[in-house]
Structure formats: C-alpha cells, structure tokens
Structure 1
Amino acid sequence: MENLRSENYHQGAAMEGVKFAPEMANTNRRALSDIKNIIGGPHQHLAVSKRGLSEKPVAAVNAKDQAGFVGHRPVTRKFAATLANQPTTAHLAPIGSERQKRNADTAFHTCADMESTKMADDDIPQPMLSEMNEAMSCELKEIEMEDIEEAAPDIDSCDAGNSLAVVEYVDEIYRFYRRTEGSSCVPTNYMSSQTDINEKMRGILIDWLIEVHYKLELLEETLFLTVNIIDRFLALENVVRKKLQLVGVTAMLLACKYEEVSVPVVEDLILICDRAYTRADILEMERRIVNTLKFNMSVPTPYCFMRRFLKAAQAEKKLELLSFFMIELSLVEYEMLKFCPSMLAASAIYTAQCTINGFKSWNKCCELHTKYSEEQLMDCSRMMVELHQRAGHGKLTGVHRKYSTFRYGCAAKSEPATFLLDARA
C-alpha cells in the first residue's frame, strides 16, 4: 500500500499559510515543525417449573378413576363428560415407548388441572372476578401505552431503489450506533494524565491536520476518524511533546487505510512533517497505536450521525456546509469532548439551521430521528455559537480559512446565531 501515491495529494489546492518541504513543488505548506516552539513549557437463576415432567409410570384410566376418583378429586358432571369423550383402555393402542407414556400422563393430568382450576374459579364470587379482570385490563393498557413510541417520519422512501442506502435495515444500523457510541468517547479530563503535553497542543495539532486533510483532498470521514484515534490513544498512552505530531500523522495514515481508496504513502507524510521523523518512526508508531487501541477502528464518529441527521433535516448544500463548519470547529476544542458524537452532530445541524433562518428552528422530524429535543441541544449549540464568533481570530484559524473558500460555500462568513446566547437562562 505504501507504493501507491495518492492522486488526491498531487491535485490538492494549496492553502494559505501551509508550507511543505522543497521536494513538493508548487506548494507553500508550512510544516508544523516543532510544537515546542509554538507553545511554551508543559501545562501543569430463574426458577424452572417442573410440572408435567414427572417420571411416575402412568397407565390408562384405571378402575378406581372410572369409579369417580381422579387424583383424589371428585368428578364433576363436566369433567365426567370430558372423560367420556376420551378413548378408554380397550380402544387405546398399546403404549410402546416411555415418551408415549409421558405424553399420555401429561395430557391426562392437564385435563385434571384444568378442571381443578375451573372449580377454584367457581368458588370466587362473580363481582370479585369482574373487578380483578377490570384491574388487570387497565394495568395491561398502561404498560402498552408506556411501550408505544411516536413513530419517526419515513425519510428513506426516496432511496427504496438504491441498494447502497440499505433502507431495509438502516434504522437498525443507527440504533446500533447509538448503543455503541460510548466506545468512541474518551474521559473529558484525560489530558490531566499527560505530563508533557496539554490541551492547547492538541488544538494546534488538530488544526494543522485539518489543513493537511484539506490539502490532500481526503474524505470527510477520514478527518473525524483521525481525531478519534488521536484522542483514544492519548487517553491511554503518555506521549512526549516531540512525538505528538508523529501521533497525528500516523493516526491520519491509519484513518486513510480504513476509509480511503487511495492512501498517501509514508514518504508523503515524512515530507509533510518537514522530515522531522523517519519511515521507521511512523511504522513503529503505527504498531504502537493499533496495539493500544486493540485494532478497533470501527467506532461511531460524529460523521456517522451527521449524514443521517442531515437527511432528516432535508438539508440543502448551504445547511450541510455550515453544519460541517460547526462540527469541525468542535473537533479542535478539547472542551467539546464532553459531548457524545450524536449530540455534536445534532447540535451542529440545529445551530446551522438557527444561523441560516435567524430564529430557533428544530422540527418534529429532526427531534424524532435524532432523539434530542431543542432543550437538550441548547448547551452544546451555544458553545458552537461562541466558537463561531471567535473562529477567525487567534492562532487556530485553519477551519475558518477552509470554510471561507468558495469550494465550501464561504460558510464561515455567515453571521453567528448570537440570539441563542441572548436566550441563555
């Protein structure tokens, strides 16, 4: 795979402020070089009924039973009629196997038990029985009402003829994503266990990787998986400052191998890093990451939910680009790790809708498909509005520059939905 050169890499448009090594002609990418020079010092048993399974040998109805005693109980007229309709021993074929004996015994005692139950019911006054039945009926109705959920509108009928849309079980797929999205989350304070890096360094790394991702024209899902791999690895392994960039490019290489058709070769990544690392360094870090993560690359990222939720919102291109702008801003911020992937995706779409419409906008279809109400999204959405406000300022402006281009609809130039901040309780 390393012998394949990415066609996307050679066709990528250069971005402002990005500089590659001299070997990469016609580009002006700025290598991240040494993070240490940008940031200062380190930041401080169930019960089982055995009824009917008796191994007691049973013969046909004996003379004592026919005389009026079955199981030591008096025979009623109804039960006598039942026995009369049963074949007698004279008409029964010989029972040749133990299984047939047990079956005959079970059938016989079942009739006796039914009659006994009927007799017990006959002893209960009718008003009491009606009250019991009515109470049980009301209780069952209450349970049924609790189990009934409002059905979400069908948004897949338009793709009924598209085999890639898998409309037959797309709902099951997303229910599975919701159940397992916790596996892609990391502790919100994991950086406190790191001794030589901090959240600011993480932000610088991801901001730079977003520019590299744009330059190489990789798939959107590759970027989200890259960031997820970085966070899950850093939450488990202590990394020194000079190896942080190596973790970033190696995570992108792994994400490309998982998501892309054409993967950048290791030599490309060496040039991107301004030859700060060797081929052996990248391959060794790759082995370290996959072993730490136990080769688990199949985790739900915010991108998984973005596509489904955008479909529920019947999003046009403008809403789609603005939603991705919001969520990529969240990728850079360490503070946003406290929100699960589905919450980030739903909040990004909600914030984008509010930004475009100029008022709160969250319809019933979006709520039913995302499983989030407007109130549940408000905290995350307000944080995204604040990120939008300061996106073009400071040192970490890679996402803002990317979404200020015509290719991305100049989404970053939209006016932030500040009225959501004004509505803060």
Structure 2
Amino acid sequence: MQVQARLDENVAGAGPAKAGVAGKGLVAGAGSRRALGDIGNLVGGFNQKATLQGKEADAKQGRPGVLTRRAAAQLAATGPTQAGNPGSHGAAKPRAGGLRPRDASMPVVSQPAAGAEAQPTVGRSMSQLLAARSEAAAGSSRPATEIMRAAPKLVTLPDIDTADAADPLNACDFVADIFSYYKRVEPQMRVAPDYMTRQTDINDKMRSILVDWLVDVHLKFKLMPETLYLTVNLIDRFLEAKQVTRKHLQLVGVTAMLVASKYEEIWAPEVRDFVYISDRAYTRDQILNMEKIMLNTLRFNLTVPSIYNFLSRNYKAAGVAGDKDITHLCSFLVELSMVDYTCLRFPYSMLAAAAIYSAQLAVGAADPFSHALSRHSGYTLEAIQDCAQHLAALWRKAPNSTLAAVFKKYSGEKVNKVALNYDVPAVLLGPQ
C-alpha cells in the first residue's frame, strides 16, 4: 500500500511538467536549475529565451557565445564593459572570483596608441631556424640561438627559379635557404689541405692513384655522378681522422664507394661486386668491418655539400643547364681536381664556380661569369682566378698524365669527346 501511494504521488507530481510541454513550463524549469549558474563561460544563459515572450530572437544579438581565455584577459586589462556602452548586449559579466589561474597567465597584447608609428618586426624565417639547428647538429660548437643571430639576413638574388615553380622536385620555395645552408656548413665539412702529412705509411700520390682507379670502377658500375663525389669526400674525411696502412688504402676506397652507393643509388652494387673488382684482395667480412669503422668514425654524417650540389645550382644560374658540352667540360674539370690532392685547398663551391667559368671560356661564351652566376655562387671573378688557373694547368697536363682515367672517360662519344674537342683557354694559362 505504501509503494502504491508513492507511485500515485509521483504520477501526480509529473502532471504539471507534462502540461508545460505545450507551454513554457520546461523553460521555466530550466531557469530554476541553480547548478547552471556556476558555469562562467556561458553568455546569455538559458533564461534568455524566457525573456523573449514569444518573439523571434535576433540571430546576431541573441546568440550565446563563449568567453575565451583571450577575451577574459582583455577584459581584465580594459575593465568591464559599461552597461550603456553600445555593443555590450549579450556580453558576459566577469565572475566575482576573478580569472582562473591559467587565464591570468595569458599574455595581453597591447594595442599601439593612435598616431603611433608601427615598429617593424625583426625575426627569422622557419627555414633559417631549421638551418641553424641543422648547422648545430652538424658539429658546430655554437648554440643554435647564436647561429641564428649571426646568420646573414636574406639578400635578394637574381631570380632563376620562377620557370621551375610548377615542378615540386625543384623545391623552389626552399632552394635559396638550402644553398645558403650549404655555404654556411661548407667550412665545417672541409678537410685540412695538409692532412696527408699526418699519415705515416701513405702519401698524396697513393691517394691520387686510388681516386683514379675509383673513377674507372665508378664508370664500370654505371653509377650516378653524386656517388663518385661522395666517395672521394668520405675517403678524405676518413684519412684525415684515421691512420691507414698502405695495404688497407684500397679497402678504404672500395668501402667508401659501397657506402656512397647505398646513400645515393637506387640499386647499389653488392659487397661481392666490390670483392671481385678489387681482385679478391679483401674478403666480404673485411669490407663489412671497414664499413662499420668508417661510419662510426664519420659519426654517420653522410649528408655533406658536394661539388655536384654547387655545380647543379651554378648551371642554373649561368643558364647552361641544357648545354651538354659545357656541363661535360665542367664534370671533366672537377673530376681532374678530385684526383689532384693539392686541390683540397679550394672549397667545393669555388671549384664548381671556377669550372663553369673555365668551360664557358673554352666554348667561347659571351659572358663566361655572369652577374647571376657571381651572386649565386658567392664569388667574384677575381676570387676564382687562382682556382681557374689551377684547373687549367691540370687540363693541360691531362693528355700526358699517367693517371689517365678521367681523360679517357671524357674522350668518349657519350660525353661528346669534350676532352679532345676543346683546348685550354689561353687566358688561364698565363706565361709559359
């Protein structure tokens, strides 16, 4: 009986609520829910509809909003909006308790006074930030913030990338920052031009013989040009850091080409190919063990600015990327420089600029060192004269040299016989 009485009592209490469905009972009931009054980020509350009394609400004026932390911080800075101020309709009143701790910590950006001149914003681009951090990771002793401050501001260079903007492989939006980074880290990646004096069992002549032989191996395996340039770079950096005996020098060479092939090629030669090409002077295990030693010595740092990087950029700056004779001549000259140990005194970027200048002189170009080439390479004509004359001397000696792999390579039909068809520019030879 008591249970039935309570059920009847509950049914009787539900009657007014049902009647309120057709009217405003639910709205009124919603307004009496005191718990909603504690929600401080509601503007216009649930009671707003009850005050309209059947009139349609203006969507722009009656729409409830959210009091964000930024708006709360601005309210704290400027004070509460006055009731008579236009635009205060529907604005949230600040709570008596003030801002929450996390709201109070939000910075408030002050607006400049009327008539005050806007100060220019001085900052660095995201590309410069990433380049600075990459430079720090590459081995610089300076912190990234100091590198950022010391980094040269971007200068306007002659535009050579607009024509290739539609090709994503050219990375036209980032290529200027990429080569600016290459120029900055190039001094850190260079080897000492006299490092061979610290070797006790090998000399510069043995290095030249090794590189000359690797040019033939590179041609035999039909590898990419980048692989050869990286191979020689790895050899020099390893010989600078480690003492190597005469019998292991060739092992260093084939291992460097194996590592460079894995890095640059789609289909790299296998270890057994290098065992065969070295006439089985070394076993598979010896090559793999030397690979571990080399990578650990170089700290797995294989991404370095090479001559090929600077050549490809300078081709574009000089407008000769489609001229096969000039590009083959440039490759001929820089490969001659790789065999010659004394060329280590020149930076890769300077060798690339001097090679293009010498090649354009040889083919009779009207402007062998244009303004765009000078700006993008970072060198003046006077700065590269010594390097260009050194390349010309190597060029003149090449036909009679005992290290003839490069000369034979560029005497073939596939490269238009550039080593035979062009003479050394007389302006670079100087007095005989």
1:405 aligns with 412
Distance 1:240 1:93 in 2: 80
| 1:382 aligned residue (373, 380, 389) | 389
2:201 aligns with 196
1:154 deviates by 1.5
In structure 1, the residue corresponding to 2:372 is in which secondary structure? helix
Distance 1:298 1:219 in 2: 16
Per-residue CA distance 1:33-56 (angstroms, 9 max, x = gap): xxxxxxxxxxxxxxxxxxxxxxxx
Distance 1:374 1:201 in 2: 33
Matched, 1:277 2:285: no
| 2:330 aligned residue (320, 323, 334) | 323
Distance 1:225 1:93 in 2: 66
1:181 deviates by 1.5
In structure 2, the residue corresponding to 1:390 is in which secondary structure? helix
Distance 2:94 2:251 in 1: 84
1:267 deviates by 1.1
Pair member with larger Rg: 2
Is this contact kept in 2: 1:391–1:397, CA < 8 A?
yes
- In structure 2, the CA distance between the partners of 1:283 and 1:148, relative to structure 1 (3 Å rule), is closer
1:365 aligns with 372
In structure 1, the residue corresponding to 2:400 is in which secondary structure? coil
Distance 2:184 2:177 in 1: 11
Matched, 1:225 2:230: yes
1:258 aligns with 263
Give the structure, 1 or 2, with the largest relative contact order (CA under 8 Å, sep 6 or more): 1
- In structure 2, the CA distance between the partners of 1:376 and 1:95, relative to structure 1 (3 Å rule), is farther
Distance 1:288 1:346 in 2: 34
Matches within 5 A, 1:102-113: none
- In structure 2, the CA distance between the partners of 1:148 and 1:242, relative to structure 1 (3 Å rule), is closer
1:168 deviates by 1.4
TM-score (norm 2): 0.64
1:353 aligns with 360
Is this contact kept in 2: 1:184–1:228, CA < 8 A?
no
1:361 deviates by 1.9
TM-score (norm 1): 0.65
| 2:178 aligned residue (170, 173, 176) | 173
Q: Which amino acid aligns with 2:361?
A: C
- In structure 2, the CA distance between the partners of 1:355 and 1:237, relative to structure 1 (3 Å rule), is same
Matched, 1:333 2:340: yes
| 1:294 aligned residue (291, 299, 308) | 299
Q: Which amino acid aligns with 1:405?
A: G
In structure 2, the residue corresponding to 1:396 is in which secondary structure? coil
| 1:209 aligned residue (187, 209, 214) | 214
Cα RMSD (Å) of the superposition? 3.3
1:223 deviates by 0.2
Per-residue CA distance 1:44-74 (angstroms, 9 max, x = gap): xxxxxxxxxxxxxxxxxxxxxxxxxxxxxxx
1:164 deviates by 0.9
Distance 2:269 2:155 in 1: 47
Distance 2:161 2:95 in 1: 62
Query: Which consecutive residues of structure 2, in runs of 5 or more, have no partner in the other structure?
Result: 1-78, 85-92, 114-151
- In structure 2, the CA distance between the partners of 1:407 and 1:284, relative to structure 1 (3 Å rule), is same
1:4 aligns with none
2:71 aligns with none
Per-residue CA distance 1:323-379 (angstroms, 9 max, x = gap): 111111000011111111111111111111111117872111111111111111111
| Percent identical residues | 43
| 2:402 aligned residue (384, 387, 395) | 395
Distance 2:162 2:418 in 1: 30
Distance 1:286 1:329 in 2: 27
Query: Which consecutive residues of structure 1, in runs of 5 or more, have no partner in the other structure?
Result: 1-85, 115-146
Per-residue CA distance 1:134-159 (angstroms, 9 max, x = gap): xxxxxxxxxxxxx9986322211221
- In structure 2, the CA distance between the partners of 1:286 and 1:94, relative to structure 1 (3 Å rule), is closer
Distance 1:148 1:396 in 2: 45
1:164 aligns with 169
Distance 1:350 1:303 in 2: 16
